[in-house]
């Protein structure tokens, strides 16, 4: 079976792990965590980084550090992995789900502007969402598939309405927005995930990067049980969200290959685009003017095929030894978020059932990709006829 996306462990992962074991530093103390944080900060264009146990826990701690309170609403695209919405819930808040732009499959600034203008009112207690009476405190901007959000207008809206901005850049290492790195686009915090299916993995793990030193100190404090001093003194309800040295050891070895991984992802995406996308019935994944996507996942968008036809194609590809998958089922169709306030969902509803994700591990060989391409071509022709 050619897998969808598996880790590429061809670097110094084993060597660094052995160093952890030989030194006995396998837990939350050890040199790799700090080294990993420096590497991630550097690759993000931001001065500060705090590594965490997962992307989801980074999002949770980030929202709390940004002042998101129980009962708040947090703007979030419906088209995302459920972790974005769950982290909002973990902070006691609720997502205000918004549709995405057809150009980028990310938050549409025009829709966000429209919803804020129509549904909110400024009060002494902050920005209030009139239909629910809840305070709106932040925007989670998700870089779908590693493709940047059109951030300039989002940051401008956030300033105008007094909202914080957290980028869910789970798979966005290597992406650029108008030539700028994720840490250089005006978000208060940027989160990454180092889960096993991301471009860079630490086995599991996450990170937050940012510019505001006081905010990043608070993030570090919150993720390390809010301990004061060396003994058992804690001044807040903190979290045990620290990354371990074992995870960071793998993460450091992976970061050494970041440029190679992103180049491989882009090469794989470009080959699928050239071989499969015709721009008429078969479309490539988004490539808006403002973005250099990190191309976390590759595949095609075939809106003319029904969800059943897509399921048939996936099943037959699987028989041919190819792991092809559907895309995120959006939040407004998920049981835990059925009651969340939402915008219209025309674009999201038109996208998600018609996406076919294809094998895109950085170790995918050209022969393997040719095998995938010829089978996908065959299936698309068959579905068309
Ligand atoms: C992977 C992912 C996450 C969650 O990261 P974990 O490290 O698995 O907790 C959050 N948001 C998006 C968009 C993701 O793709």
Q: What is the pLDDT of residues 80-127, one digit of tens each?
A: 999 999 999 999 999 999 999 999 999 999 999 999 999 999 999 999
- From 195, 201, 243, mutation site for ligand 1 pocket: most ligand atoms within 8 A of C-beta: 195
Q: Is the CB of 80 under 6 A from ligand 1?
A: yes
Q: What is the pLDDT of residue 28?
A: 84
Ramachandran sector of residue 300 (left: φ over 0; alpha: ψ -120 to 50; beta: rest): beta
User: What's the number of CA atoms in the CB half-sphere (13 Å) around residue 43?
Assistant: 26
Q: What is the pLDDT of residue 179?
A: 98
Report the alpha-carbon distance of residue 275 to residue 375 in Å, rounded: 12
Q: Is the CB of 199 under 6 A from ligand 1?
A: no
Q: Could you tell me the pLDDT band of residue 385, with boundaries at 50, 70 and 90?
A: low
Q: Which helix (H) or strand (E) holds 152?
A: helix 151-161
Report the alpha-carbon distance of residue 360 to residue 44 in Å, rounded: 23
Model pLDDT for residues 236-270, shown as the tens digit of each residue? 999 999 999 999 999 999 999 999 999 999 999 99
Extract the runs of DSSP E, i.e. beta strands, from the chain: 48-52, 73-77, 94-98, 120-123, 126-129, 134-142, 164-168, 176-177, 189-193, 206-210, 291-292, 298-301, 355-358
User: Which residues, at least 6 apart from 274, have a Cβ–Cβ distance to it below 8 Å?
Assistant: none
Residues 266, 176: contact at Cβ < 8 Å?
A: no
- From 84, 100, 145, 148, mutation site for ligand 1 pocket: most ligand atoms within 8 A of C-beta: 84
Q: What is the pLDDT of residue 140?
A: 98
Enter the tokens of residue 218.
């608070």
Q: What is the pLDDT of residue 175?
A: 98
Q: Is the CB of 55 under 6 A from ligand 1?
A: yes
- From 193, 208, 331, mutation site for ligand 1 pocket: most ligand atoms within 8 A of C-beta: 193
Question: Per residue, what are the HEC states of 41-83?
Answer: HHHHCCCEEEEECCHHHHHHHHHHHCCCCCCCEEEEECCCCHH
Ligand 1, atom nearest to 54 Cα: 7
Report the alpha-carbon distance of residue 189 to residue 63 in Å, rounded: 9
Nearest alpha carbon, ligand 1 atom 5:
55
What Rg value do the Cα atoms of the chain yield, rounded?
21
Q: Could you tell me the pLDDT band of residue 66, with boundaries at 50, 70 and 90?
A: very high
Model pLDDT for residues 183-239, shown as the tens digit of each residue? 999 999 999 999 999 999 999 999 999 999 999 999 999 999 999 998 999 999 999
| pTM, to two decimals | 0.97
Nearest alpha carbon, ligand 1 atom 14:
170
User: What's the number of CA atoms in the CB half-sphere (13 Å) around residue 123?
Assistant: 12
Q: What is the pLDDT of residue 142?
A: 98
Q: What is the pLDDT of residue 279?
A: 87
- From 170, 199, 201, 327, mutation site for ligand 1 pocket: most ligand atoms within 8 A of C-beta: 170
Query: What average pLDDT does the segment 262-281 reach?
Result: 97
Q: Is the CB of 143 under 6 A from ligand 1?
A: no
Mean pLDDT of the chain: 97
Q: Could you tell me the pLDDT band of residue 23, with boundaries at 50, 70 and 90?
A: very high
Q: What is the pLDDT of residue 351?
A: 98
- Per cent of the chain over pLDDT 70 is 100
Q: Is the CB of 84 under 6 A from ligand 1?
A: yes
- Tell me how many degrees the CA angle 312-375-323 measures, rounded to the nearest 5: 65
- Report the SS3 class of residue 191: strand
């Amino acid at each position: 079976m050619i897998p969808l996306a598996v880790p590429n462990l061809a670097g110094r992962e084993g060597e660094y792990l052995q160093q952890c074991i030989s030194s006995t530093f396998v837990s939350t103390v050890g040199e790799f965590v700090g080294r990993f944080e420096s590497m991630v900060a550097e690759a993000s264009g931001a001065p500060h980084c705090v590594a965490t146990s997962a992307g989801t826990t980074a999002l949770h701690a980030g929202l709390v550090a940004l002042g998101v309170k129980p009962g708040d609403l947090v703007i979030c695209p419906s088209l995302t992995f459920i972790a974005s919405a769950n982290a909002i819930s973990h902070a006691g808040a609720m997502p205000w789900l918004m549709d995405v732009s057809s150009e980028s499959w990310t938050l549409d600034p025009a829709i966000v502007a429209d919803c804020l203008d129509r549904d909110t009112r400024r009060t002494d207690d902050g920005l209030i969402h009139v239909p629910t009476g809840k305070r709106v405190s932040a925007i989670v901007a998700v870089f779908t598939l590693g493709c940047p959000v059109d951030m300039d207008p989002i940051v401008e809206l956030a300033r105008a309405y007094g909202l914080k901005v957290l980028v869910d850049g789970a798979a966005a290492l290597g992406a650029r927005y108008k030539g700028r790195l994720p840490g250089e686009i005006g978000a208060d915090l940027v989160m990454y995930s180092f889960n096993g299916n991301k471009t860079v993995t630490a086995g599991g793990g996450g990170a937050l990067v940012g510019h505001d030193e006081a905010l990043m100190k608070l993030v570090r404090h919150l993720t390390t049980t809010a301990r004061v001093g060396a003994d058992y003194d804690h001044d807040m309800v903190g979290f045990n969200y620290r990354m371990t040295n074992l995870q960071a050891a793998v993460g450091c070895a992976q970061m050494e290959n970041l440029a190679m991984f992103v180049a491989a992802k882009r090469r794989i995406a470009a080959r699928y685009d050239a071989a499969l996308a015709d721009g008429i019935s078969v479309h490539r994944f988004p490539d808006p003017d403002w973005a250099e996507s990190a191309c976390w996942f590759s595949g095609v968008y075939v809106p003319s095929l029904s969800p059943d036809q897509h399921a048939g194609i996936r099943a037959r590809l699987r028989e041919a030894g190819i792991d092809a998958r559907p895309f995120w089922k959006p939040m407004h169709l998920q049981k835990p978020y059925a009651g969340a306030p939402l915008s219209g969902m025309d674009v999201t509803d038109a996208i998600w059932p018609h996406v076919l994700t294809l094998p895109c591990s950085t170790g995918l060989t050209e022969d393997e990709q040719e095998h995938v391409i010829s089978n996908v071509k065959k299936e698309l022709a068959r579905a068309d006829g």
